[in-house]
Structure 1
Amino acid sequence: MTAVTIGFLPKPILVPVGNILPSRKLSEGLAATKKYKQILASIQEVDMIEPLSISAVERRSGQHVLLDGHIRLAILKELGRTEAPCLVAIDEESYTYNNRINRLSTIQEHLMICRAADRGLSPERLAKALCLASTEVVKRMNLLVGICPEATEMLKDRQFSVEVCAALRRMKPTRQIESVELMISANNLTVGYARALLVGTLPDGLAQPKKPPQPRKVTQEQIGRMQREMSNLHDQYRIAEQTYGEDTLNLVLARGYVIKLLDNRHVRRYLEQNEPEVLEQFLAIANAAIGEKNEATKALSDR
């Protein structure tokens, strides 16, 4: 078995910031991004944890090429630091170990925050170091409360929002496992998908099933008022039913009379010149689909 050689010196060294040459240009507006502010707050609160990665010193200029940590270097310059802890690469390869590792998962971040809290760091100080609100730090500390171990195991290497756990927490363990399996198989660990699965969960799969709303109590006075209104409505319906045939017959006869008036070209011309609004109403009556023959026959039989 061949031995694996290390790519960097085992211990970081302090290098003057002026002797470190960036290998790429940072994008404009970087200082306004959330990532930049988080790193800045972390360095201000707990100092720099991860050293910069630099190449070996160039003999002629005495300078190092920065391999990894361009944002941290920019922040150190902004804070007026004169030196930076650095890991010096032994070989000539230009890649860095940061390009060969997986980023911090959500559960790993939760464990690190809990470990820091166990060592005495308050949520307020952690919030400053992570550039987060204190409520967000508390949410990350309580990330796995109410989450079953099987679902936690499946999510341990993944990145997701803390609100995903808030949706899972409202389900029973078996439903949590089913939901996490669905999210992983669909490669969709978003809050929206988790909430959609929660909405689609049957009541027996919820940790606390929703109680059906209790019907509002109706007083005797309200019951009496509704009975009187129903009685009045019934009387009005009976009156309308008795006069329906006669009213329909009158409407059919009136429509027929209007049609005859409009057929008279002298009357129509007079209305067009002097009463256009009346003509418009007459045309609407004439074009109404009343079914006068059937209705007139029915009305005459009722009489």
Structure 2
Amino acid sequence: MTIEETKIALPAVSQGFEKRCLLVRLDQLLPRKSLPKGVKHSKKYRQIATSIVEIGLVEPPVIARDPGNSSLFFILDGHLRIEVLRDLNQSEVECLISTDDEAFTYNKQVSRLAAVQEHAMIVKALEQGVPEERLASIFAVNIETIRRRKRMLNGVCIEASELLKDKNCPMAVFEVLRKMQAVRQIEAAELMINANNYSTAYIGAILAGTPQAQLADPTKPKQLRGMTVEAIARMEKELARLQQGMSSIQESYGKDHLELTVIKGYIKRLLGNARVVSYLLATRPEYVPELQSVVDMASSSTDI
């Protein structure tokens, strides 16, 4: 098959959202869930309300068209924002129209504002002249927290911040990263991503396992509470071995995943053949549960 034929054979990719936002009246929006009792007295509700009053709606609600009524829409994401707008006596809101009406699917894929993105927003707002006091009110934090978030990436290399720009890392993670040299910052970011662990405890363990020569200030000895020099040295060796093991797994993961998927499919087809199963039950009955366990195990871990 030629490249041109392959291109023709490829199915069209459907868009997840309509191309343009739509201005919708609030009385056209139908909730998919009821708000918890007392939510209007929560900190989150007050923070959203303050943000909308101070700077307007930053993230448009996501809605889907009601197939049974063209004038109505289901709310997929943004119930609190819409409730705040109602309390503010607003009559309409600009919404993003999803082509998928499943709230579960959308909420599973949506990415909330990460620390790096929040940092960029704060820096941009400050550059445009928004006072620190106003930002502190919007985010429901004190002014010192705004200042910490502003300087969060000071000393963090661009490559590491790019790797973590859409990850939900606590601000303290970046404060630990800046204690390492740039190359080690990138390695630490990759370790967190591979482990899907962005906690301060994990980045603290990575710092503990960082060789002295890879610290931002190699002349300053690491001082970790409750750990001796010998324990820190052992941790450095263990972390180095862990990195080597993860690198070797990454190199072969794609090939192993493909082989396991093919094997699973072949065994599944065999067990779907009544004649094959009858033969196995008659000659090798102990094979059947073992083969079925392979299919079940593969289904839970390798299906895409």
- With normalisation by structure 2, the TM-score equals 0.57
User: Offset at 1:103?
Assistant: 3.0
Task: Give the 5 Å matches for 1:78-157.
Answer: 78-79=87-88, 81-87=89-95, 89=97, 93-95=100-102, 99=107, 100-157=109-166
Find the partner of 1:165 among 170, 174, 197: 174
Matched letter for residue 50 of structure 1: E
1:23 aligns with 2:19: no
Within 2, Cα distance between the matches of 1:132 and 1:146? 24
The superposition leaves residues 196-239 of structure 1 with CA deviations (integer Å, 9 ceiling, x where unpaired) of 222343433332343799xxxxxxxxxxxxxxxxxxxxxxxxxx
Deviation at 1:184, TM superposition (A): 2.3
1:188 aligns with 197
Aligned-pair CA distance for 1:118: 1.8
In structure 2, what is the equivalent of residue 10 of structure 1?
20
2:220 corresponds in structure 1 to: 210
Alpha-carbon separation, structure 2, partners of 1:202 and 1:60: 64
Counterpart CA distance in 1 for 2:184 and 2:16 is 46
- Kindly tell me: are residues 172 and 71 of structure 1, through their superposed partners in 2, closer, same or farther at Cα, counting changes over 3 Å? same
Aligned to 2:296: none
Contact 1:53 1:68 in 2 (8 A): yes
Do the aligned residues in 2 keep the contact of 1:8 with 1:87 (CA within 8 Å)? no
- Verify the 8 A CA contact 1:140 1:162 in the aligned structure 2: yes
> How far apart, CA to CA, are the structure 2 residues paired with 1:6 and 1:212?
49
Report the alpha carbon displacement of residue 72 of structure 1 after superposing the two structures with TM.
0.9
Q: Give the residue type in structure 2 aligned to 1:94.
A: D
Q: Any conservation in 2 of the 1:9–1:90 contact (CA below 8 Å)?
A: no
Q: Map 1:268-279 onto structure 2 (within 5 A).
A: none
Aligned to 1:292: none
Q: 1:52 to 1:149 in 2, by over 3 A?
A: closer
Match of 1:45 in 2: 54
For residues 132 and 202 of structure 1, the distance between their equivalents in structure 2, rounded to whole angstroms, comes to 36
SS in 2 for 1:128: helix
Per-residue deviation, 1:25? 0.8
The 2-side partners of 1:103 and 1:110 are apart by 14
Alpha-carbon spacing, 1:52–1:108, altered in 2? closer, same or farther (3 Å): closer
Q: Give the aligned partner of residue 199 of structure 1.
A: 208
Distance between the aligned counterparts of 1:74 and 1:151, measured in 2?
38
Cα contact 1:171–1:205 (8 A) shared by 2: yes
Distance change in 2, residues 1:41/1:201 (3 Å): same
One-letter code aligned to 1:52: P
Amino acid aligned to 2:162: E
Structure 2: distance between partners of 1:40 and 1:144? 28
Equivalent residues of 1:54, 1:86 under 8 A apart: no
Q: Report the more deviating stretch, 94-103 or 57-66.
A: 57-66
For residues 107-166 of structure 1, what are the alpha-carbon distances to aligned partners after superposition, in whole Å with 9 as ceiling and x for unaligned? 222222222222222222222222222222222221211012332232223220110111
> 1:224 maps to what in 2?
none
Gaps of 5+ in 2: 1-7, 224-304
Contact 1:126–1:137 (Cα < 8 Å) also in 2: yes
Closer/same/farther in 2, CA of residues 154 and 75 from structure 1, 3 Å limit = same
TM-score w.r.t. length of structure 1: 0.57
Retained in 1: the 8 A contact 2:60–2:96? Answer: no
Superposition deviation, residue 75 in structure 1: 1.6
